[in-house]
Amino acid sequence: MTTATLHRTERLLRTGPDGPADPGLATHLALHGPLTVPPRDDREWSHAVWAEVNRSGLTGRGGGGFPAAAKWDAVTRSGRRPVVVVNAMEGEPASAKDRSLLAWSPHLVLDGAEVAAALSGAREIVVCVADDRDRTARSVGYALSERARSGGGRPVSVVRPPSRYVAGEESALVGWLERGDARPALRVDKSVPLQLRRRPVLLHNAETLAQVALIARHGAAWFRELGTAGAPGSTLVTVSGAVRTPGVIEVELGTPVEDLIGRTQPTGPVGAILTGGYGGAWLHPSRASVPFAPGPLTEAGATIGAGIVVVVPATSCGIAETARIARYMAGESAGQCGPCVFGLPAIADDLELLAVGRGDAGLLARLQRRCGEVAGRGACRHPDGVVRLVRSALDVFGDDVRGHATGHPCAGHAAPTVLQFPSALPTRAGAA
């Protein structure tokens, strides 16, 4: 379908330090080739592209892992014209892939949105960029003006929801678009699409749409040249922590985690690997040969999340880092459900005591009990993610836990954190 040469694992991020330093439209077309998307409903084209994406086995890259083609099914079934929403919120502090993508390959994302719109019959595209990511928004805006000059496409608007952890959750994002209320909603049936002004919402992560744009050009077989049978394609991973070159890399799904980390050069012996983000799970370095793909990671007690890997050095304390994450996540609760509002701070309290070795005899039992009580009793999966992380910490750092619990914390608990947290206060409270 294209004549452009493609590097093996460089598909999405081909501009930047290693390539042309220009994310503009001309470079984009030179690198990836043209893509014709019909401006009006074109059944034949839609069927063909849908079939390609379906065959490709592309799953969502925002952490949900839902098959992309299946989402389209659900949305078109309702009969009304949907709205395409591009989720570039990236509320996970340890993730930078979506803003990198929009900074360096915005046209891929916009192409993908255009494809999704044409396929589903949508006439409107909304790009959501968090309100503290002005550079990303400018990049998207510039790309849109380039596209407008060269003949347009469907109308695209860029909106700036609040930069909060839960604001990027699907129902929270749609809630903000509809009512200005960026809090997750209780969803009894997730297969029923969310509604925006009574239209079904087709919401995709930015990277997913970029992948769609490539599949529409090169086909399912090309997409499946990389990756494994169960987890095809490439994916963007943000690697941070104790590594020399933190950043966003594009890897083939199924790459062993240790190879992935190796590319960013850990500064020393690895103590633990955080996978999936702050609502994810810890991976013990002895298991670092596990392939980076949804299935194998889950089996190893980890999780792929939105392609996030944080390397914690052996000189740090995993329990202390977990305590910091728990405290941050407690503060990011939307504040709607009691078990989350009260349970997460309580769990963070106990983890902090455990980290410094000042816990009482009943701490571990209490922590376990609270984890059991908090999970599954909120409207969204926020508390569930924290509980998963805490439980994985108690497992992966089991030996250290015993020492900490008996008043002998490891030396690393006083080490500075390798994690990043946004500042405590929101940048713009309830921005209009």
Return the residues of window 243-262 that contact another protein according to CB under 8 A.
243-244, 246-248
* Residue 96 touching another protein (CB under 8 A): yes
* Residue 162 touching another protein (CB under 8 A): yes
- Across 284-322, where does the E strand assignment appear? 308-313
User: Binding residue for another protein (CB under 8 A) from 4, 158, 341, 363?
Assistant: 341
429 token code pair: 């409270």
Q: Which of residues 355-414 bind another protein (CB under 8 A)?
A: 373, 377-379
Instruction: Specify the residue, 231 or 329, whose C-beta has the smaller distance to another protein.
Output: 329
Instruction: Specify the residue, 301 or 318, whose C-beta has the smaller distance to another protein.
Output: 318
User: Binding residue for another protein (CB under 8 A) from 145, 157, 406, 420?
Assistant: 420
Q: Is 338 within 8 Å of 352 (Cβ atoms)?
A: no
Q: Which of residues 116-155 bind another protein (CB under 8 A)?
A: 135, 139, 142
User: Binding residue for another protein (CB under 8 A) from 31, 174, 185, 375?
Assistant: 185
Q: Which of residues 101-120 bind another protein (CB under 8 A)?
A: 103-104
CA distances from 429 to 85, 92, 243, 296, 382 (A): 23, 19, 34, 41, 21
Q: Is 324 within 8 Å of 421 (Cβ atoms)?
A: yes
Site size with another protein, rule: CB under 8 A? 75
Q: Single out the residue of 377, 357, 379, 169 nearest to residue 277, CA to CA.
A: 169
User: Binding residue for another protein (CB under 8 A) from 118, 119, 182, 300?
Assistant: 182
Half-sphere exposure of 320 (CA within 13 A, CB side): 21
| Least distance CB 108 / another protein (angstroms) | 14
Stretch that binds another protein, among 81-89, 120-128, 207-215, 344-352 (CB under 8 A): 344-352
Stretch that binds another protein, among 47-55, 115-123, 236-244, 395-403 (CB under 8 A): 236-244
Q: Single out the residue of 363, 280, 357 nearest to residue 325, CA to CA.
A: 280
* Residue 100 touching another protein (CB under 8 A): yes
Stretch that binds another protein, among 122-130, 158-166, 212-220, 398-406 (CB under 8 A): 158-166
25 CB contacts (<8 Å, ≥6 apart)? Answer: 107, 143, 146, 147, 150
Q: Which residues of 302-340 are buried (b: 16+ CB within 10 A; e: fewer)?
A: bbbbbbbbbbbbebbbbbbbbbbbbbbbbebbbebbebb
Q: Which of residues 311-340 bind another protein (CB under 8 A)?
A: 323-325, 327-328, 330-339
Q: Single out the residue of 241, 272, 278 nearest to residue 387, CA to CA.
A: 278
CA distances from 171 to 15, 135, 352 (A): 33, 25, 32
User: Binding residue for another protein (CB under 8 A) from 3, 36, 151, 430?
Assistant: 430
Half-sphere exposure of 48 (CA within 13 A, CB side): 11
Stretch that binds another protein, among 28-36, 97-105, 190-198, 276-284 (CB under 8 A): 97-105
